[in-house]
Structure 1
Amino acid sequence: MQTVESVIAGLNHWIETLPKELSRLQELEITERPLPNKWSKKEILGHLCDSAINNIERFVKIQYEEQPYVIQVYNQDHWVALQHYQETPLDEILQLFCALNKRAIHIISHIPAEKLASTCIIGNGEHKTLDWLLQDYLAHMEHHIKKQILA
């Protein structure tokens, strides 16, 4: 099990590394969709921004809302489509990714240790802790970055 410090270190790693890695790719590599109904690398990065937006709210609310806090799901495909990440300059999406994750780090670094046991109900009805949610956030990010964006 990761610690809060390792989640923060992981987020910092991708804030530093991802812009450098993406700068090595050609425009076609970033914008090409593997299939018509699949996201491009650029859209996947946009999805990670959407994930940050939604999870920042969760990281805050779970600390003060009634327990267990019920996680509201969001339609990921609609978020990506309606924000038009495919047409947005990559630098703009990267700046958003970095800014949102710096904000997430700030919030995470100020969570009192006792709040890490706060509970939530995720989409499938399972009960999880805030600590689990933090770790899952980084794992989700790394899955998309390692297996899709940089693959």
Structure 2
Amino acid sequence: MEHVISGINHWILELPRALGQMSETETSHRPAPNKWSKKEIVGHLCDSAINNMTRFIKMQYEEQPYAIQPYDQDQWVSEQHYQDQTLEEVLTLFIVLNQQIITILSSVPKEKLSYLCIIGSHQQETFDWLINDYLEHMDHHINNQILTRSKA
């Protein structure tokens, strides 16, 4: 759990610093009509935080195995209008949501980490796996799409 909390804290500090070195044009540029801008990718990470925050809370008290409800990621990014917001607004949301996730994760009793959830049609995973997957998802988007994408 400390690894995940440390990783989330790292991105809370590092992502604003890294994006702050980029122009508004670069953070708002969509590489293709059906691809998200860097700002929208951060927005997607906010949507992930919102959905996973709910999962992290419900996993602790709902009947096991807890059925994970999917969400339409493209629709969420579109309806949230991240592209029309300033980078500062989107980053503020990212920071606040992830600080709350850290608060939640810091209080999860160890015995609950073995609780089960159902992902997709029948795949079962542990709560611990779900928590680690949250950070892996964040790492993937930040390292492979936000920090490595070349300038427009």
**TM-score interval for Structure 1 and Structure 2 normalised by the shorter chain:** over 0.9
Q: 1:95 aligns with which of 76, 92, 95?
A: 92
Instruction: Give the C-alpha shift of residue 124 in structure 1.
Output: 4.5
Find the residue that maps to 1:120 and give its secondary structure. strand
TM-score, normalised by the number of residues in structure 1: 0.97
The amino acid of 1:75's aligned partner reads D
- Which portions of structure 1, spanning 4 or more consecutive aligned residues, are displaced by more than 4 angstroms? none
Q: 2:13 aligns with which of 16, 21, 26?
A: 16
**Where does residue 118 of structure 1 map in the other structure?**
115
Find the residue that maps to 2:108 and give its secondary structure. coil
Find the residue that maps to 1:35 and give its secondary structure. coil
Find the residue that maps to 1:99 and give its secondary structure. helix
TM-score, normalised by the number of residues in structure 2: 0.96
Percent identical pairs in the alignment equals 59
Q: 2:65 aligns with which of 58, 63, 68?
A: 68
Q: 1:56 aligns with which of 35, 53, 57?
A: 53
Unaligned runs of 5+ in 1: none
Count residues in correspondence: 148
For 1:38 and 1:93, how far apart are their aligned partners in 2? Answer: 18
What are the Cα deviations for residues 39-78 of structure 1, in whole angstroms up to 9, with x where unaligned? 0000000000000000000001011000000000000000
Instruction: Give the C-alpha shift of residue 27 in structure 1.
Output: 1.2
For 1:50 and 1:83, how far apart are their aligned partners in 2? Answer: 9
For 1:90 and 1:26, how far apart are their aligned partners in 2? Answer: 10
Q: 2:42 aligns with which of 7, 23, 45?
A: 45
Unaligned runs of 5+ in 2: none
For 2:24 and 2:50, how far apart are their aligned partners in 1? Answer: 26
For 1:110 and 1:46, how far apart are their aligned partners in 2? Answer: 26
Contact residue 24 and residue 87 of structure 2 kept, 8 A: no
